[in-house]
Amino acid sequence: MTMPAEQAKPLTRQEATTKVAEIFELIAAIPAAELTPERGLVEDLGIDSLTMMELAVTIQDELQVSVSDDKIKDLRTVGDIIDLVAAAR
């Protein structure tokens, strides 16, 4: 049994940042230039619970990163999502 290449290859923090920015632009229409690690998802970017779920599902589907409900509750900043993606790979 072989693993998909995307799942087997770890991402650097920069690659994770790029992938997260692409997903934010696709799902939330937020340009990459506005996504610094310290930006708050709710406070600064206005991400609501539905959009957060869409982001989580897309991260799972596109990057093969498991995002449980418990993990979603702990995500507060763009950096938290980048860390989640980079650590999971």
Identify the three-state secondary structure at position 40.
strand
pTM equals: 0.85
Note the pLDDT of residue 88: 85
To which H or E segment does residue 84 belong?
helix 78-88
Residues of the chain with pLDDT under 50: 1-3, 5-8
Note the pLDDT of residue 35: 95
Note the pLDDT of residue 89: 64
